[in-house]
Amino acid sequence: MDEGKVYLVGAGPGDPKLITVRGLECLKASDVVVYDRLASPRLLRHLKPGAEKIYVGKLPDRHTMKQEEINQLLVDLALRGKTVTRLKGGDPTIFGRVGEEAELLQQNGIEYEIIPGITSAIAVPAYAGIPVTHRDMASSLSIITGHESPEKLDKSIHWDKVTNATGTLIFLMGVAKIGYIAEQLIRHGKSPNTPVALIRWGTRVEQETLVGTLASIEQQVLEANFQPPAVIVVGEVVKQREKLKWVERRPLFGTRVLVTRARAQASELADSIEALGGEPVEYPVIELRETTEENAVAAIMAALGQAEQYDWLMFTSTNGVDYFYTWLQKLNIDIRRFHKARIAAVGPKTAERLLERGLQVDVLPVQFQAEGLLDSLEGVLEAGQHVLLPRGDLAREVLPRQLAERGLVPVEIDVYESMLAEEDDQLVVELLEARQIHIVTFTSASTVRNLMEKLRRAGVADPVQLLAGAAIASIGPLTSAAAREAGLQVDIEPEQATIAALLQAIADYRSKARGE
């Protein structure tokens, strides 16, 4: 068997989007990823299907695997022909012990690459509004480990030289030793009034910053029960924070949001959450696919084969638009055969998707649901008109029923099927159990039903109780009704049933919760 290859990758400081392009490429190509707790678990979503995940992270009170064992694990995996990514928090060359891992790989003749990462030493202060250098305050910096015992610190750090060697001092992994570090810096010449900042879980949704002085910081840490991991910044640059802090000013700072939409649709909502400073957790509960049921396919073929007869094309979702075109292409039917038909869409996103296809919508309701569409069509619809409704298999029957009551001839075709997504993610359950998901979003009644079912299949005895620790955000009245039927309390519902309105409602809710 050919030997594999090992990529020693810096994952960045925590925000999964701060991984390098090369690091992400290596991750996607891997058969196995060996990772620790400082690497964002969201990065694991980029693994190819079937890739193995091995956690070797170190916790403050215990080590899952000794460093020597990790080194040997990388060798063993590569000798089995595996392409391996060793995913390490921050930059692997800064207190990441990458040299030890690479040395053993070299000794065993295994090919490897070291992929630098954005170090927490500069990124975490930046996310707290602290530039580690400043023309008027600090033109140099030192990066120092604070993890060792005081005896080891005294052996590895020349306090008399380090204390005033550079304008800014950065200590990594030193929260537990903050008192000793402050004492040594004061003893060797730093003013007790020197500003200090501790930034915990920087660049992540849990980011928390504590600011004090060398004289006060130990007591502040004890009073706040400030826990690691954190980056310690010592120097005048800390004063920049009050002017430059930017992350905390974003509307969804500190907010983790569960996105339950189908994966193909989730990116828009997830990207918008990130743009507002929140952290989306994608947990698709719906999987969409082209209709395969024999009778449904026959109905599609028959309906589309009579394109010239329709007076109206009515679309109730972007998915309906996409799969309608999929079937046109599959059956080799020219859209121009629908030249007689006027076009109606339930919402602006559906109208935008049609416009992308070169089709202008004739009717767009003010209320973005089936009832609103019918209200907008009053005086326009005529008895005897034929209406084609390309929809999903779970679409509501309100629209076709009311069209028929008005004397029209609705023709429904199920152009796609909605399935319960099979993808499991135990991390989501763990986050919900730890009350670390702040808002759960629902964009349709089926996302409500499917989330409850997926949680049950994941072994959750009482999904309602599990979700009680998070606010429930529903896109509109119909989805809210399904949530209440499932036993959930709806906390957020926008006036308009659109993603943009839902995001604004979520931002308003969080602002109110923070007392802003």
Q: Cα separation of 268 and 415, whole Å?
A: 23
Given this model, what pLDDT does residue 40 score?
80
Q: Cα separation of 321 and 318, whole Å?
A: 5
Buried b (16+ CB within 10 A) or exposed e, 120-139: bbbbbbbbbbbbbebeeebe
Highest mean pLDDT among 46-60, 296-310, 413-427: 296-310
Q: Which of 5-19, 42-56, 498-512 has the lowest mean pLDDT?
A: 42-56
My answer on whether 430 and 413 are in the same domain is no
Average confidence (pLDDT) over 479-491: 96
Per the prediction, the chain carries an average pLDDT of 90
Give per-residue pLDDT as tens, 225-235.
999 989 999 99
Give per-residue pLDDT as tens, 131-150.
999 999 999 999 998 866 66
Q: Is the pLDDT of residue 93 over 90?
A: yes
Structural domains counted in the chain? 4
CATH of the domain at 462: 3.40.50.10090
Given this model, what pLDDT does residue 96 score?
84
Cα-based distances in Å from 1 to 22, 78, 79, 81: 27, 10, 8, 6
**Which domain-ending residue is among 401, 420, 439?**
420
**Which residues are known catalytic residues?**
36, 58, 173
Q: Cα separation of 290 and 374, whole Å?
A: 28
Give per-residue pLDDT as tens, 342-360.
999 888 889 999 999 999 9
Average confidence (pLDDT) over 327-345: 94
Give per-residue pLDDT as tens, 451-482.
999 999 989 999 999 999 999 999 999 899 99
Q: Is the pLDDT of residue 193 over 60?
A: yes
Percent of the chain with pLDDT over 70: 94
My answer on whether 240 and 155 are in the same domain is yes
CATH of the domain at 87: 3.40.1010.10
In sequence order, the 6+-apart residues with CB closer than 8 A to the CB of 182 are 196, 214, 215, 217, 218
**Which domain-ending residue is among 388, 420, 452?**
420
**Which domain-ending residue is among 351, 385, 420?**
420
Contact call for residues 329 and 336 (beta carbons, < 8 A): no
My answer on whether 462 and 431 are in the same domain is yes
Q: Cα separation of 401 and 407, whole Å?
A: 10
CATH of the domain at 152: 3.30.950.10
First to last CA, the chain: 62
Percent of the chain with pLDDT over 90: 68
My answer on whether 264 and 240 are in the same domain is no
Closest CA to 4 of 105, 85, 111, 115: 111
pTM score: 0.80
Cα-based distances in Å from 496 to 441, 474, 489, 490, 493: 15, 11, 19, 15, 8
Q: Is the pLDDT of residue 41 over 80?
A: no
My answer on whether 128 and 111 are in the same domain is no
> 12 — alpha (psi -120 to 50), left (phi > 0) or beta?
left
> And the tokens for 278?
């929140």
Cα-based distances in Å from 22 to 54, 65, 274, 444: 21, 27, 22, 37
366: confidence class by pLDDT, cuts 50, 70, 90: low
My answer on whether 221 and 127 are in the same domain is yes
Q: Which residue has the higher pLDDT, 329 or 59?
A: 329
My answer on whether 198 and 304 are in the same domain is no
My answer on whether 359 and 426 are in the same domain is no
Closest CA to 283 of 392, 432, 506, 469: 432
My answer on whether 326 and 387 are in the same domain is yes
Q: Which residue has the higher pLDDT, 461 or 375?
A: 461
> 435 — alpha (psi -120 to 50), left (phi > 0) or beta?
left
**For residue 208, how many other CB atoms are within 10 A of its CB?**
17
Given this model, what pLDDT does residue 156 score?
76
Given this model, what pLDDT does residue 380 score?
84
Range of the domain at 88: 5-117
Q: Is the pLDDT of residue 415 over 70?
A: yes
> And the tokens for 266?
């989730």
Angle between helices 318-330 and 294-304 (to 10 degrees): 80
My answer on whether 371 and 319 are in the same domain is yes
My answer on whether 146 and 227 are in the same domain is yes
Q: Is the pLDDT of residue 1 over 70?
A: no
Contact call for residues 320 and 388 (beta carbons, < 8 A): no
My answer on whether 25 and 67 are in the same domain is yes
Average confidence (pLDDT) over 324-332: 96
